[in-house]
Amino acid sequence: MLSKKTKYGLKALTYLAAQKGNKPVQISEIARHENISQKFLESILLSLRKTGVLGSKKGKGGGYYLIRDPEEVLMTDVMRILEGPIAMVPCVSLNFYEKCDDCPDEVGCSVHRLMLKVRDSALDVYRNTTLADLIP
Amino acid sequence: MLSKKTKYGLKALTYLAAQKGNKPVQISEIARHENISQKFLESILLSLRKTGVLGSKKGKGGGYYLIRDPEEVLMTDVMRILEGPIAMVPCVSLNFYEKCDDCPDEVGCSVHRLMLKVRDSALDVYRNTTLADLIP
DNA sequence: AATTACTCTATCTGTTTAATAGAGTAAACA
DNA sequence: TGTTTACTCTATTAAACAGATAGAGTAATT
C-alpha cells in the first residue's frame, strides 16, 4: 500500500511542477489546494529538500520550489525518497539490499525470483516516468 | 513491503508444488523445512484452503495438498488472497476499488495515473506467472 | 525591529503485523 | 469404539509503523 506520505509528496511535487515560472510556493497554499494536513506536508517537503529535489526560501515571499526542471526529476528518485525501497522484499532491492535471515538459499528461493520480476517491472515504469509526465 | 504472511504462503505453496504425487503434507513438515512459525503457518494455509487453492485432510496421514496443478495456479489469485490488492492505491484497484476521499478528480490526479501504470506492470507479471514457475 | 515562514524535536493515538496460547472438532486406524 | 493425530477456530499479545499534532526556535525579508 502506498503511504500517505508518498501520495501527498507526489501531489505536492506535481503542484509545484505545474506552476508558471519557478517562484517559491508556500506550504499553506499547497496544503489547501491538495487537501493535506499542513504540518504533515511540512515534514514531507523537508525531506524532499534535504535530498536535493526541492529548494526553499525563508521569509516573506518564501516557500518551496523545484531545483530542477520537471523533465529531469525521475520517479525512481522520488519514490525512493518518499516510499523507500521499490522492491517488495529487501533481498531483491538495489538500493536497500538486505539478506533474509530466514532463508538460506537466495537463488533457490521462489519468493526471491518472483519479487525480482515484480521489481524489474516497477523499475521500468519509474525509470521512464518523470515529474513532467504527471502534470495534468 | 511484502508481508510475512505472503512470503510464508508462497514458500509453502512452492513446497507443496514440488512434492511428487499429491499426498497431503503436514503443517509441521512445511514449517520445519521453510523456517516458519507453525501456528502462523496454520492460519495462512487455512485461508488458502477457504479460497479453494488448497485442500486438507484430517486425521492420521492428513495434511494440506494442492487442489489444482501448479500450472493452473495463477499468481494474481495467490497474491490477492495473501497480500490483498495488487494496486498500491485503492482508486486504481480492479478487485478492491475504493474512491479516495481526499481527491475530487480521479482523472486529473497525478498519483492515480502513475499508480495505474505500476499496477498494470505488476499485473502483467502476476498474470504470466504460475505456481509451476516458482518451483526451483 | 517586526513579520513571515521555514526548521526541528517530541509526543501521541490508532492500526496493522506477527506471533502465541489454548480449547475444540473431525477423521483415520487398530 | 476409542484413541490418536492433525486440522480448526477464537482470543490475546507485543512490537512496529503510519499519520497526525504541538510547540518552540531560527532565518530571511521588508
> Comparing B14 with B22, which gets the higher pLDDT?
B14
Suggest the residue from A15, A121, A126, A131 to mutate for an interface test with chain B (most B CBs closer than 10 A): A121
Contact at CB, B121 and A122, closer than 8 angstroms: yes
Strand C positions within 7 A of protein Cβ atoms = 3-9, 17-22, 25-29
Q: What average pLDDT does this structure show over B44-63?
A: 89
Instruction: Give per-residue pLDDT as tens, A8-20.
Output: 999 999 999 998 8
Q: CA of B69 to nearest chain A CA: how many angstroms apart?
A: 17
Q: What is the pLDDT along chain A (136 residues), one digit of tens a residue?
A: 999 999 999 999 999 999 887 889 999 999 998 989 999 999 999 999 989 999 988 877 888 999 999 999 999 999 999 999 999 999 999 999 998 888 888 889 999 999 999 999 999 999 999 999 999 8
Which of A11, A117, A118 shows the shortest C-beta gap to B111?
A11
Structure confidence at residue A58 (pLDDT): 83
Map grid coordinates 510556493 to a residue. A25
What percent of chain A has pLDDT above 90?
Answer: 73
Report the 3 state secondary structure along chain A: CCCHHHHHHHHHHHHHHCCCCCCCECHHHHHHHHCCCHHHHHHHHHHHHHCCCEEEECCCCCEEEECCCHHHCEHHHHHHHHCCCCCCCHHHCCCCCCCCCCCCCCCCCHHHHHHHHHHHHHHHHHHCCEHHHHCC
Cβ contact B37:B31 at 8 Å: yes
Beta partners for residue A55, in sequence order: A65
Cβ contact B27:B33 at 8 Å: no
Chain A CB within 8 Å of residue B41 CB: no
Q: Which chain A residue lies closest to B14 (C-alpha atoms)? A: A110
Distance of CA B135 to CAs B59, B98, B132, Å?
28, 35, 6
Q: H helices within chain B, ranges in order? A: 4-17, 27-34, 38-50, 75-82, 110-127, 131-134
Instruction: Give per-residue pLDDT as tens, A20-39.
Output: 878 899 999 999 989 899 99
Beta partners for residue B56, in sequence order: B64
What percent of chain B has pLDDT above 70?
Answer: 100
Contact at CB, B88 and A14, closer than 8 angstroms: no
Chain A CB within 8 Å of residue B18 CB: no
Q: Which three cell numbers stand for residue A14?
A: 506535481
Suggest the residue from B125, B129, B135 to mutate for an interface test with chain A (most A CBs closer than 10 A): B125
